[in-house]
Amino acid sequence: MNDKTTKVGELKALVEKFVRERDWERFHSPKNLAMSISIEAAELMEIFQWLDIKEAASLPKEPTKAAHIKEELADILIYLISFCNINKIDMAGIVAEKLRRNRTRFPAKKVRGAFLKNYR
């Protein structure tokens, strides 16, 4: 499986099958899954906790760290997919919709090079 050939729906089906075979839907309330996403996101952050921004940027090139990072990303993604499966949410649809709105909020011309200044 890879991103070039796999449809989002196929990835969702894979996760759904895994969850259903274990009878885990009953734990997969949106409240619990939101917590799970957050917990796994914290585990990803922990890898970069004490590094400065530049050190952190080179970490995914170290093989052991890369494996750890991928595992935490997969955990976040699996819970996110499960959340969408259980609540019948179209992932491609919500991303496209959000980017559409962000294009209006942050027009490329206005934003380029000005972000940090605006932010602070």
Question: Hey, which residues between 51 and 80 contact a copy of itself (CB under 8 A)?
Answer: 51-54, 56-57, 59-60, 69-71, 73-78, 80
Residue 89 has phi, psi (to 5 degrees) of: -105, 130
Would you count residue 1 as binding a copy of itself (CB under 8 A)? yes
- In angstroms, what is the minimal distance from the CB of 64 to a copy of itself? 10
Would you count residue 117 as binding a copy of itself (CB under 8 A)? no
Sign of the C-alpha dihedral computed for residues 98, 99, 102 and 104 taken in this order: negative
Please, which residues have CB within 8 angstroms of residue 37's CB and are 6 or more apart in sequence?
76, 79, 80, 83
How far, in Å, are 18, 50, 63, 70, 72 from residue 67 at the CA level? 22, 19, 6, 5, 9
Question: Hey, which residues between 29 and 48 contact a copy of itself (CB under 8 A)?
Answer: 29-32, 34-39, 41-48
Among 63, 104, 116, 117, binds a copy of itself (CB under 8 A): 116
Give the interface size with a copy of itself as a residue count (CB under 8 A).
83
The span from the CA of 56 to the CA of 40, in Å, is 18
Question: Hey, which residues between 3 and 32 contact a copy of itself (CB under 8 A)?
Answer: 3-12, 14-15, 18, 21-24, 27, 29-32
- In angstroms, what is the minimal distance from the CB of 54 to a copy of itself? 8
